[in-house]
Amino acid sequence: MKINVAAGIIQKNNKILIAQRKQGCKREPNKWEFPGGKIEKNETPENALKREIKEELGMDIVVGDLFGESAKKYPNGDEIILSCYFAKLKNNKKPKLTGCQKIEWASLEQLTGYDFAEADQAIISLMKMKKEQED
């Protein structure tokens, strides 16, 4: 089954918001990820991302451009298609942890120190590649 997911690269002070999945998570529990979630039927990826961030963190965001996409196929046949968007917080509200067990702000260089879900790892590689091209 193909599962479309939208995630946000939410930046503040040169750091990126990352979230750790709950221990009871169906796929890759305790792994780190860019916050987001499944795109529902008849929902745009941008609206799905806004909804998921509101549900999981209690935060409002403005969704920007698409950064990149990655895919991960699981042994059970499921395939995750991850669309990652730039996003900004609308305010400085403190996040609520309803959809994850922990959040952190990390620099691009620090991301390699976290155990990320596989689809998110491809996004990190793309981020590093683009940064190297800019430098």
Report domain extents, the chain.
2-134
**pTM of this structure:** 0.90
Q: Which residues pair with 70 in a beta bridge?
A: 82
- pLDDT in the model for residue 31: 93
For residue 34, the model assigns a pLDDT of 96
Query: C-alpha distances in angstroms, 4 versus 8, 28, 52, 79, 116?
Result: 14, 16, 13, 8, 18
Count Cβ atoms within 10 A of the Cβ of residue 81 and give its class: 0-12 exposed, 13-18 middle, 19 or more buried.
Answer: middle
Helices marked H in the chain? 45-57, 118-134
Distances (CA, A) of 23 to 33, 82, 111: 13, 21, 20
The span from the CA of 73 to the CA of 51, in Å, is 25
Q: What percent of the chain has pLDDT over 70?
A: 100
> Does residue 103 have a pLDDT over 90?
yes
Cα 95 from chain centroid (whole Å): 15
- Two tokens, residue 76: 């059970």
Residue whose C-alpha is closest to residue 8's, from 39, 46, 36: 36
What is the band of 37 on the pLDDT scale with cuts at 50, 70, 90? Answer: very high
pLDDT in tens, 46-99: 999 999 999 999 999 999 999 999 999 988 888 999 999 999 999 887 788 777
CATH of domain 2-134: 3.90.79.10
Mean pLDDT, the chain, as a whole number? 91
- Read off the pLDDT of residues 76-86 as tens digits, 9 standing for 90 and up: 888 999 999 99
